[in-house]
Amino acid sequence: VIALDSGAPEDLPAWCRMTRNELVRHDPATHSFWIRSRREWT
């Protein structure tokens, strides 16, 4: 995900915790977030 919103560095990790997805990496220089989707959605 590319996120230019200034709140993204706080919001995306919180979203990952709430949805049980994994924030793999965040690169502030490129505003990039690597997120691994969880396998089971049931």
Domain that holds residue 31: 1-42
Please check whether residue 15 is in contact with residue 8, taking contact to mean a CB–CB distance below 8 angstroms.
Answer: no
Helix, strand, or coil (residue 5): coil
Indicate the number of domains in the chain: 1
Per-residue model confidence as pLDDT tens digits over 1-42: 999 999 999 999 999 999 999 999 999 999 999 999 988 876
**pTM, 2 dp:** 0.82
pLDDT at 40: 82
Largest CA distance in the chain: 35
pLDDT at 26: 98
pLDDT at 42: 66
Name the phi and psi angles at 11, rounded to 5. Answer: -70, -45
